[in-house]
Amino acid sequence: MARSDTSKGCGEGAIAFAPHDHARCRRAAIEDARARCAAAGLRLTPVRERVLEILLESHAALGAYDVLRRLTDEGAVPQPPIAYRALDFLVAHGFAHRIEKLNAYVACTASAETHDPVFMICRDCKAVAELPSAPVARDLEREAERIGFDIGRTVVEAEGLCPGCRAESAS
């Protein structure tokens, strides 16, 4: 098996659910964002980078107002649009994702351009794992073709219990 480690220096899939060197995880994600912005001529401004850092503090999803509160703690008293604009930028360019089920946001853990991943959301510890969507996307595309539907974007989210929390609750 031993697939090579391509996701920003983190694990091979459900990094969010596995114990790992998260400090490294964060650094890698920030550096990746910096690099990709530089390459694409995007401006990773201080607010935007700070919001990404806040999201990267854990693999749990944060609401826009959670992010805003964290910004507020740091001096200024930012208003909602500040957080929403930064989040919109991060989502638009694939550095973060919006979790529809939670009205919340997570940092991306799968270095790539914009993509429509599959998310697994732990209802206990709130961690969100991002998985490649290839098989699911194929099925959806097949169904869509059958009925003549032209798919733009997809939302695929599963809510349940992560390995860690299963172990705990089974005790």
Partner DNA sequence: GGGTCTCTGTTACAAGATAACTTTTCGATT
Partner DNA sequence: AATCGAAAAGTTATCTTGTAACAGAGACCC
Residues 10, 21: Cα–Cα separation, whole Å: 8
Q: Which amino acid is at 145?
A: E
The piece of 22-30, 76-84, 111-119, 163-171 that touches DNA (CB under 7 A) is 76-84
Token pair belonging to 121: 């959301």
User: How far is 50 from 48, CA to CA, in rounded Å?
Assistant: 5
Among residues 21, 31, 57, 100, which is the contact residue for its own copies, using CB under 8 A? Answer: 100
Q: Is 6 in the site for DNA (CB under 7 A)?
A: no
Distance (Å, whole) CA 76 – CA 24: 29
Q: How far is the CB of 159 from DNA (least distance, A)?
A: 14
Q: What's the alpha-carbon Rg for the chain, to the nearest Å?
A: 17
Range 45-64, binding DNA (CB under 7 A):
45-48, 63-64
| Shortest reach from residue 87's CB to DNA, in Å | 8
Closest approach, Cβ 149 to Zn ion, in A, equals 9
